[in-house]
């Protein structure tokens, strides 16, 4: 029905489960493509260049900005994060629903530049559970966890800018819910311009006959 794929932004507090959800979504359905961001943050244990992120130095990152090779970028907890342009454009053109898992400043820039993008905000059912997940993940020091939790409080102020809230309580349910939001979004008139024009043209034939 839609002419092209949808540009989907997934944001949410660090530890909300975005990465886990995205993995499951991509495993379950084949209409998605996940954009791999570039970052100046150091890799966590097990993270691979080109898979979780393209890891870069500050200089390399700033060169990409200057060359306009990122569709958005932001500074988050002292590091740069940005979305490489080429992959996103190619995949949308190929009809894939492209997911950007990015924070709120980047999300707002995407909405401004791509008004037909779909903004989803992932949250755990409550704040205590967020802390439990961040601690449980065991990838950050207590100082970084504290910083991310305090950042979460600021981020919660921006939730209204999103199109939908996705509560990640039961993982399987959440994946289904997310997918159904995307499927429904394909039927929004602003994303079906080609179909609408086509049926309008066809209907004109009837009015010709009636006049």
Write out the residues near ligand ADP by the rule CB under 6 A. 12, 14-20, 133, 136-137, 168, 171
Distance CA 131, CA 45 (A): 20
Of the pair 17, 82, the CB lying nearest ligand ADP is at: 17
Residue closest to ligand 5GP when measured from CB atoms: 106
Kindly state whether residue 121 participates in binding ligand 5GP, applying the rule CB under 6 A: no
Kindly state whether residue 117 participates in binding ligand 5GP, applying the rule CB under 6 A: no
Provide, for the chain, the percentages of residues in helix, strand and coil under a 3-state DSSP scheme, each rounded to the nearest 5.
50, 20, 30
Distance CA 209, CA 211 (A): 6
Distance CA 9, CA 162 (A): 9
- Least distance (Å) between residue 160 CB and ligand 5GP: 18
Of the pair 9, 185, the CB lying nearest ligand 5GP is at: 9
- Least distance (Å) between residue 82 CB and ligand ADP: 17
Binding track over 50-79 against ligand 5GP, x by CB under 6 A: ----------------------xxx-x---
Among 102, 108, 145, 178, binds ligand 5GP (CB under 6 A): 102
Kindly state whether residue 37 participates in binding ligand 5GP, applying the rule CB under 6 A: yes
Distance CA 15, CA 143 (A): 15
| Lookup: tokens for 121 | 């905000």
Residues that bind ligand 5GP (CB under 6 A): 14, 37, 41, 72-74, 76, 81-83, 101-103, 105-106
């Amino acid at each position: 029905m839609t002419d092209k794929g949808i540009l989907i932004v997934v944001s949410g507090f660090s530890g909300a489960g975005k990465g886990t959800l995205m993995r499951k979504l991509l495993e379950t359905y084949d209409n998605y493509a996940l954009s791999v961001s570039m970052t100046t943050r150091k890799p966590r244990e097990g993270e691979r260049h080109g898979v979780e992120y393209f890891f870069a130095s500050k200089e390399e990152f700033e060169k990409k900005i200057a060359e306009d090779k990122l569709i958005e970028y932001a500074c988050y907890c002292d590091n740069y994060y940005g979305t490489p342009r080429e992959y996103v454009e190619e995949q949308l053109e190929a009809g894939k629903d492209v997911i950007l898992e990015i924070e709120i400043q980047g999300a707002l820039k995407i909405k401004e530049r791509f008004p037909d993008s779909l903004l989803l905000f992932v949250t755990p059912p409550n704040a205590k559970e967020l802390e439990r997940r961040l601690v449980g993940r065991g990838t950050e020091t207590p100082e970084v966890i504290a910083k991310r939790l305090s950042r979460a409080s600021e981020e919660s102020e921006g939730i209204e800018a999103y199109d939908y809230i996705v509560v990640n309580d039961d993982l399987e349910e959440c994946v289904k819910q997310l997918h159904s939001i995307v499927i429904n979004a394909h039927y929004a008139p602003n994303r079906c311009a080609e179909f609408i024009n086509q049926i309008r043209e066809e209907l004109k034939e009837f009015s010709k006959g009636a006049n």
